[in-house]
Chain A
Amino acid sequence: MIKIKDLEKYYKTEELQTIALNKLSFEVKQGEFIAVMGPSGCGKSTLLNILGMLDDSDGGSFIFNGEEVINYNERKRASIRKHNIGFVFQSFNLIDQLTVFENVELPLIYTGVKKAERKKKVEAVLEKMQIMHRRKHFPQQLSGGQQQRVAVARAVVNDPKLILADEPTGNLDSSNGNEVMELLTELNDQGTTIIMVTHSEHDAKYSHRIIRMLDGQKVTENSLV
């Protein structure tokens, strides 16, 4: 599903250039659950941003679903993103002024789904995440675990082929964290590809394969299955 080769990314300031990704290559197959680990600043998040087409790279190749997307402009990338990729963040990133229902509904609005259909889909996914009873609440009125469940619901409401999770349990206590990991595993079981950046060895154990990075390069890759 994803094939990257010699991916490069630099951050430049006036005086120095930092290499975030240094000729990184790996492949992800449909239905895989990958954990990306490494110390702070090793390039994990940069990688995730490029994979999520939120950021562009400075060289190399990025094939998504058999399509070379490395040179796509923002509009094309946005179009691929909204139909194929869901995001889960460490800090949840819900819109404070929207209710739970409206937050989850958002991706459907941008992909042009009809209203009645949206209602059905949102309610189904909220039911699945067991936060239906909270659908009229605003994010500030929820606990961290509940907020992350909403975020996951939002990530999956569009039935994406790929979920990118950036330390999804980083702001949660262990029981809430485990709950979220169970959710992701369940989604993976139903066929969704997941790439997750994490610091937690515990969380990494839920994955099929762990890619360890250092200074923008892949150090090891070990399969857990």
Chain B
Amino acid sequence: MIRNYFKIAWRNLKKNKVYSFINIFGLSVGMTACFLIFSYVNFELSYDNFHLKKDRIFRVVADIKTPTETINGKGPSWAVPPHITEFPEVAAAVRVLSDIILFKKDNLTFNETESLWADADFFTVFDYKLLKGNPLTVLKEPFSIVLSETSAKKYFGDNDPIGQTILITDDAFPSTVTGIMEDIPVNSQIQGDVVISMTTITKKFAEGVNDQWGNYGPFAYLLLKPDTNAKHLESKFPAFLEKWSGKEMNKSQMFPTLLLEPLKDVYLKSDRGGFVTGNIKNVYVFSIVAMLILLIACMNFINLTTARSSERAKEVGIRKVVGAAKSQLARQFIGESVLICLIAFLLTLVVTSLLLPSFNQLAGKTISQGIFEIPLYILLLFLAATGIGLLAGIYPALILSSFKPTTVLKGRFTTGAKGNFLRKGLVISQFTISIALIIGTIVVYSQMSYMNNRDLGFKKDQILVLDTNSDKNRDVLKQATSSLSNIKNASLSSSVPGTGNLIAYSEIENIKGDLQVANLDLYFVDFDYISLFNIQLAAGRPFSREFKTDTTQAMVLNEAAVKMFGYSSPEQAIGKRFKQWGHEGKIIGVIKDFHFQSLKKPIKPLSMRINPDRGDYLSINISTSNLASTMAAVENQWEKIIPNKPFSYYFLDEFFGRQYKSEEQFGKLFLNFALLAIFLSCLGLLGLASYTTIQRTKEIGIRKIMGASVSSILNLLSRDFLKLVAISFFVATPVSWFFMQEWLMDFAYRTTVSWWVFLAAGVMAMLIALITVGFQAIKVAISNPVDALRTE
């Protein structure tokens, strides 16, 4: 019996090549999208799962209440982890600080951009595998280094690195390689190529940092003893902080609250940031999109199968006459749809494996081999494909198996109005999904373009930024580069827009004349900074070499800061007092607000001071003519002045744009899936249109003989479908409006979603549908009516 069913199914597939193609191809496109998204989602959910003690590991973060705001910090102060082990519930505490450190081995010099400082328990709390070295001791002594396999190869080739010496930092401290670890897996929230013992900092570089309760910087992770209630432990922290640092908190007016984040939640759910962060929203959005695409593919399948049921009606009738029970027939048709799904599944495996590399590129990371690494996944997907076959097959099977043989064998069979209703419903759902995705894509892209084109309030084009990493010769480099031809000027500063910045405990005279405490964002700059970045002045004057006191006693604020201290105009703030990090003086100028952070964030109050000791970044205003030779000249100067460091540079506009990388990827993925959805919907529409056109061949023949024009027939055939697309448009519009408003809420500065977005999406869908249907309709409309009638 099964062989018989299989034969019938196979022969049917072969006979109706177009429909089989649409069915199988459509399903496998849907499945491929689904599998790719599945592997993406699965990968996102897999972060940090490899740590055996993951359920007991928590990240400690601090909400720091200051007189003006509450800062959601990524970590506690330096002193917390060494002291927090006094709680019996805490088995271990590990601080991890990421850094960029200069490494030198013989003639090899690298700026290790992914360096980590970590406490001694790093390799016992986390399961980063050590290939060589004892996890208990590798990070115990100052100047101990654990290299990843890759970086070990880089420095030592095939030689054994253990016990070898590498010089680290600008000051070339000899350090010993104590261990080799496997490269940290991509799905780890902590990323690093080299790990250096934290004792190097706490015992050598910054003695006493272990007792600094107001100094923030590293991330911190706790390993709790089994069966510890984290919430309960959290409730003991205020007393702990009070005991150790009550006085200091009152003095600095910074009151931290320590919170525990489960390690498993940090990557996807924490909004405080980290080494690498994911976004649970994206996981949800793409899961839903995957389901929708699969749904569209299944709808195509149901649609085509029921639409063509009249062709199978005779077979059903005959089988019933010769003794088939309804259940046997239902099983046959479900089996057929499962067969189609399994063929689609095989195709999907091939296509998925071909697409995986480009999908990795699209997703912006290596989702490893994903589904192909683990046989269990293949099995799961196989079961999923079977399930899809069952689900998509049930409805057509019920319809087909309930045909009455007496009617179908007499040729009185017509597809009922009920089936039409269902088909229309399915087409509407498909196009609703497609239009909603198109709208979503347009909104994402217009937000991207809004962010890229918005006037940021500073000059970001033609600015080359060199990361001198606080080299002692940076001033010489500045002088040397600014005298090059094609370079207008240069400036040293602690930050450039997009790099992040210092935050300083400050006291500023407010409108009432009091010194108001605030944590101000702080840029240390030089005299050329404001003019180089073309930052506009709102009041007062910029820093000037003519005023000797500017170096130590002058501050420039932005408008947001002025507003915070109660001044209604920038002019009022000029000449007011400030105290900041041991310096006192007057406010000499107010600059207009500029976006020193991404447009996702509102512009915060910012202070600027001159400080020649803090100039990590050398910004160079470069003319674009002869760019290559200018670049070569700059590099040449670098090699002469800072020969011990690799030349590292970027262009500011690109760098600033990098903050939107995740949005850009989101947009790209969204675009691709929207295209896929509309493609699948059209594939279904094409099948349906060609089927109804064939069914109406005779009607069209008669109409033509009666004198109908080609255009009237075109109109007749397309009208019904276009009506459905129009209905979809009205369903999709409010839904997508709601969701895209929600998405835009993440951006402090956002584009407005105007009506044309919806109209454009609607018109686009309409046009695509028209082309799809029209292609079929024209074929029939221009055919000879006599041929049409003869086929009957």
Contacts and interface: CB of A to CB of B under 8 A. Distances in A.
A28 interface: no
Contacts of B406: 49, 54-55
B323 A107 contact: yes
Interface stretch (B5-13, B682-690, B713-721): B5-13
B11 A97 contact: yes
Nearest to A105: B4
B405 interface: yes
B319 interface: yes
Contacts of B405: 54
A75 interface: yes
A44 B321 CA distance: 18
A107 B320 CA distance: 10
B11 A110 contact: no
Interface string A31-58: 0000000000000010001001011000
A195 to B, nearest CB: 15
Contacts of A96: 315
Size category of the A interface is 20 to 34
A45 B411 CA distance: 14
Interface in A61-77: 74-75
B698 to A, nearest CB: 19
B328 interface: yes
B323 A81 contact: yes
B104 interface: no
Interface string B1-23: 10010011001100100000000
B323 A93 contact: no
5 contacts: A54-B320, A93-B318, A95-B314, A102-B7, A110-B319
The 5 closest A-B pairs by CB, nearest first: A82-B323, A110-B323, A97-B11, A107-B322, A49-B406
B484 interface: no
Interface string B645-656: 000000000000
Nearest to A166: B409
Given A93-B317, A106-B318, A106-B322, 12 more contacts: A82-B322, A89-B409, A93-B314, A93-B321, A95-B319, A97-B7, A97-B12, A98-B4, A98-B11, A109-B4, A110-B322, A110-B323
Contact of B322 (A49, A55, A74, A154): A154
Nearest to A164: B321
Nearest to A52: B321
B326 interface: yes
Interface of A: 45, 49, 52, 54-55, 74-75, 78, 81-83, 87, 89, 91, 93-98, 102, 105-107, 109-111, 154, 158
Contacts of A110: 319, 322-325, 328
Interface centre among A82, A93, A107 (most CB of B within 10 A): A93
Interface string B261-286: 00000000000000000000000000
B102 to A, nearest CB: 75
Given A55-B406, A97-B8, A97-B315, A75 B322 contact: no
Contacts of B325: 75, 78, 110
Nearest to B318: A93
Contacts of B314: 93, 95
A97 B326 CA distance: 20
A111 B323 contact: yes
Interface centre among B317, B322, B326, B411 (most CB of A within 10 A): B322
Nearest to B408: A93
A207 B6 CA distance: 41
A94 B326 contact: no
A205 to B, nearest CB: 27
Interface in B207-244: none
B618 to A, nearest CB: 77
Contact of B321 (A75, A87, A102, A109): A87
A43 B745 CA distance: 72
Contacts of B404: 54-55
A74 B402 CA distance: 11
Nearest to B4: A109
Contacts of A105: 4
A22 to B, nearest CB: 19
Contact of A74 (B4, B11, B326, B411): B326
Interface string B392-410: 0000000000001110011
Contacts of A111: 323
A106 B5 CA distance: 11
A106 B7 CA distance: 13
Given A75-B325, A110-B323, A110-B324, A93 B409 contact: yes
A78 B314 CA distance: 17
Interface string B281-316: 000000000000000000000000000000000110
A110 B406 CA distance: 19
A48 to B, nearest CB: 9
A7 B162 CA distance: 101
Given A49-B406, A89-B409, A154-B322, A109 B1 contact: yes
A54 B328 contact: no
A68 B361 CA distance: 73
A109 B332 CA distance: 13
B201 to A, nearest CB: 78
A120 to B, nearest CB: 17
Contact of A106 (B15, B317, B319, B411): B319
Nearest to B409: A93
A109 B11 CA distance: 19
Contacts of A97: 7-8, 11-12, 15, 315
A189 to B, nearest CB: 24
Contacts of A75: 325-326
Contacts of B328: 110
Interface string B729-745: 00000000000000000
B9 to A, nearest CB: 9
A158 B322 CA distance: 10
